[in-house]
C-alpha cells in the first residue's frame, strides 16, 4: 500500500498538533502518527517523553521538534497514559503497551490465529511495529538503564 504523503504536518515546540487530543509534535506527521522517520503501515504510535510530557512519533521527531535532550518516560509513572494509538486515538499506559512482555511472560512463540500478536492496540487491534520494543529504552525508563554517573555533583 502506498501511503500518500498527503496530510503530513510538521509541528515544533511550543506549538502542538491540533489534530490530536493530546499534545503532540513531530516531523511530517500523518493523521495516524506516522512520521518522516517511521512511516510503515504499523508505525502508528506516538510516545510521550518525560522531559516535556508531549507525544512524539519517535525520538528523532523529538530532537527535531523540541530544543532539549529527550528523556524517557519515568518508570514510576508507567500507570499513566504515555502511548498514543494513532489509529483510534486511545492513550495507553506504558503497562498496557508493554503488557505480555515483561509482566505476562508467555510462551515466546505461541502461534495464534491472527497476524497481530502482542504488538497491537488493545482498543482497536491495530498492529503496532514490533521493532519499537527493541529500542523502547529510549522511550521508557528501564530498571537497567542507569544514569548513575553523577549522583551528586555539587
Site residues (vs Zn ion, CB under 5 A): 35, 37, 49, 51-52, 57-58, 60-61, 66, 85, 87-88, 90, 121, 123-124, 126
- Using the minimum distance from each CB to Zn ion, give the nearer residue, 108 or 114: 114
Strand partners, 127: 120
- Using the minimum distance from each CB to Zn ion, give the nearer residue, 69 or 109: 69
Q: How far is the CB of 86 from Zn ion (least distance, A)?
A: 8
How far is residue 131's CA from residue 77's CA, in Å, rounded to a whole number? 23
| Element of type H or E holding 28 | strand 26-29
- Using the minimum distance from each CB to Zn ion, give the nearer residue, 101 or 120: 120
Q: How far is the CB of 82 from Zn ion (least distance, A)?
A: 13
Q: Which of 130, 137, 149, 148 is nearest to 44 (CA)?
A: 130
Say whether 121 sits in a helix, a strand or coil.
coil
Cell numbers given for 130: 514490533
Q: How far is the CB of 10 from Zn ion (least distance, A)?
A: 10
Straight-line distance from the first to the last Cα atom of the chain, in angstroms, rounded to the nearest whole number: 55
Q: How far is the CB of 95 from Zn ion (least distance, A)?
A: 16
Say whether 65 sits in a helix, a strand or coil.
helix
Q: How far is the CB of 62 from Zn ion (least distance, A)?
A: 6
- Using the minimum distance from each CB to Zn ion, give the nearer residue, 37 or 95: 37
- Using the minimum distance from each CB to Zn ion, give the nearer residue, 37 or 78: 37
Amino acid at each position: 500500500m502506498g501511503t500518500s504523503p498527503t496530510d503530513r504536518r510538521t509541528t515544533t515546540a511550543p506549538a502542538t498538533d491540533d489534530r490530536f487530543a493530546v499534545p503532540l509534535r513531530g516531523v511530517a506527521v500523518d493523521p495516524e502518527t506516522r512520521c518522516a522517520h517511521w512511516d510503515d503501515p504499523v508505525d502508528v504510535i506516538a510516545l510521550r517523553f518525560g522531559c516535556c510530557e508531549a507525544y512524539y512519533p519517535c525520538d528523532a521527531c523529538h530532537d527535531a521538534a523540541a530544543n532539549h535532550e529527550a528523556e524517557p518516560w519515568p518508570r514510576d509513572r508507567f500507570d499513566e497514559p504515555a502511548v498514543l494509538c494513532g489509529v483510534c486515538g486511545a492513550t495507553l499506559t506504558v503497562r498496557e503497551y508493554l503488557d505480555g512482555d515483561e509482566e505476562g511472560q508467555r510462551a515466546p512463540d505461541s502461534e495464534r490465529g491472527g497476524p497481530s500478536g502482542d504488538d497491537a492496540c488493545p482498543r482497536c487491534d491495530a498492529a503496532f511495529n514490533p521493532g519499537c520494543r527493541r529500542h523502547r529504552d529510549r522511550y521508557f525508563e528501564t530498571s537497567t538503564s542507569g544514569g548513575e554517573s553523577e549522583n551528586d555533583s555539587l
